[in-house]
Amino acid sequence: MPGEALDQIFVRAKGSILSLLSGAPEWLVQIVSALISITALLVVFPGLFALISVLERKILGRIQNRYGPNRVGPFGLLQPLADGIKMLIKEDVVPFRADQAMHFLAPIMMLVPALLALSVIPYGRNMTPFAIDAGILFLFAVGSTTELAVFMAGWGSNNKFSMLGAMRAIAQMVSYELPLIITVLPVVMVVGSLSGDAIVAAQDGYHFGIIPRWFVTTPWGATAFLLFFTAGLVESNRTPFDVPEGESEIVAGHMTEYSGFKYATFFMAEYLGMFAVSGLGVTLFLGGWHAPIKALEIVPSYMWFFAKLSVLLLVFIWIRGTLPRTRIDHIMNFAWKFMLPMSFTCVLAAAVWHYQSGGLRGWLWSLALIVVIYVALSALLQTGRKFAPRTYRFAE
């Protein structure tokens, strides 16, 4: 295919390195191969974290009609380096009665699952760091350990505000993990595999030679993607769902008693988790590394993946600069009374679409099912009444 040499440049570079070990034992070759993949992840995504941290501050500054970082380096691009140096030399303050082991291990327990989740996402053709048959299941398995890390941070800090923040975080993370997982089920059900590579391969090709065969172009796929993205906002503790870090209420949530590099580790883990959720969304619904137009397949596959990832990250930032923080009771009601029923509706709609062979009838029947359930839920929950003008009464 056109541009294959450029598309497979990293794969061939890794193969060239491994070819130097042609006479070595198989176990040594596998270890070196794993170390190469791990090194690539540790270079690319922390680098992306540094870049997105300064770009987010600049974009938010533009949205809010103010300047972003513009002092350290050209256009303020060295601000992440200055922040890193500040965090490294800042004093590590640990409360006197805190659980030392839990307080130390919590940020590590947040960071490691995020890195593990990034290891099973296909970033391009033949570019999955660790291709396993149950890659999607592995991603959710390691991602579920973040609740334990949040609890360790809140409990180990011996601070009531940290504990309240941790309980808030765990409550909303558990509530939204259900819709997050259920919205993945339609894709797994239609493809018949838990492998990220198989899911991306199932989205290859174009309808009528123009429209890409991405799952987001189906009624159930578009609905599941919106629900997945919303749940991903909550799982990443991003606005408008950043209730665990409500500064005006509970200081900084489970991170209240953290400073210096430990705080920076929490910060990095949240961003890496956002990368993992966005990358999973690209893989499941947006065709992975496939090009949107056949004529553009000359562009390397990994560039398409990171282009789609960048768009989703931009939406994350855009939402943060636009929407205010939501009340905790509204967040929980939204999860259990709307997100969960709509997630199951996507599963039923995908089944209808699949048994109609994905044709026009399946498209229309699945769309009708989603619309009917959405209208019924809206009427049942009476959303208009909840946002009616309020009348405030004060004591005499």
Read off the pLDDT band of 96 (50, 70, 90).
Answer: confident
Give the pLDDT confidence score for residue 164 in this predicted structure.
83
Give the pLDDT confidence score for residue 294 in this predicted structure.
86
Q: Would residue 363 count as lying in a domain?
A: yes
Q: Which of 23-32, 242-251, 274-283 has the lowest mean pLDDT?
A: 242-251
pTM: 0.91
User: What does the buried/exposed string (b/e) look like for 233-266 if buried means 16 or more CB atoms within 10 Å of the residue's CB?
Assistant: bbbbbbbbbbbbbbeeebbbbbbbbbeebbbbbb
Q: Domain total for the chain?
A: 1
- The CA radius of gyration of the chain, in Å to the nearest whole number, is 23
Read off the pLDDT band of 311 (50, 70, 90).
Answer: very high
**Stretch 113-141: mean pLDDT, rounded?**
91
Q: Which of 15-29, 216-230, 247-261 has the lowest mean pLDDT?
A: 247-261
Q: What is the DSSP string of 86-135?
A: HHHHS-----TTS-HHHHHHHHHHHHHHHHHHHTTS--STT--TT--TTH
pLDDT at residue 2 greater than cutoff 60: no
Contact indicator for 126, 11 with CB cutoff of 8 Å = yes
Q: Would residue 100 count as lying in a domain?
A: yes
Burial class (CB in 10 A: 0-12, 13-18, 19+), 147: middle
Q: Would residue 331 count as lying in a domain?
A: yes
pLDDT at residue 396 greater than cutoff 70: no
Q: Would residue 27 count as lying in a domain?
A: no
Q: Which of 303, 271, 272, 295 has its CA nearest to residue 56?
A: 271
Q: Would residue 34 count as lying in a domain?
A: no
Give the pLDDT confidence score for residue 317 in this predicted structure.
93
Read off the pLDDT band of 356 (50, 70, 90).
Answer: confident
Q: What gap in Å lies between CA 50 and CA 78, rounded to an integer?
A: 9
Domain extent at residue 212: 95-380
Q: Would residue 5 count as lying in a domain?
A: no
Structure tokens at 323: 């929407």
**Stretch 18-41: mean pLDDT, rounded?**
88
Give the pLDDT confidence score for residue 388 in this predicted structure.
59
Q: Which of 122-131, 313-322, 324-333 has the lowest mean pLDDT?
A: 324-333
Give the pLDDT confidence score for residue 251 in this predicted structure.
66
**Stretch 266-281: mean pLDDT, rounded?**
92
pLDDT at residue 208 greater than cutoff 80: no
**Stretch 67-73: mean pLDDT, rounded?**
89
Read off the pLDDT band of 347 (50, 70, 90).
Answer: very high
**Stretch 115-122: mean pLDDT, rounded?**
93
Contact indicator for 290, 301 with CB cutoff of 8 Å = yes
Q: Would residue 19 count as lying in a domain?
A: no
**Stretch 149-153: mean pLDDT, rounded?**
91
Give the pLDDT confidence score for residue 247 in this predicted structure.
59
Q: Where are the alpha helices (DSSP H) in the chain?
A: 4-7, 9-19, 26-63, 79-89, 100-118, 135-143, 146-156, 160-182, 185-191, 196-202, 219-235, 247-250, 260-285, 301-322, 328-334, 340-355, 360-381, 383-386
Of all residues in the chain, what percent carry a pLDDT higher than 90?
A: 52
Give the pLDDT confidence score for residue 358 in this predicted structure.
76
Angle at 104 between CA 280 and CA 277, to 5 degrees: 5
Q: Would residue 121 count as lying in a domain?
A: yes
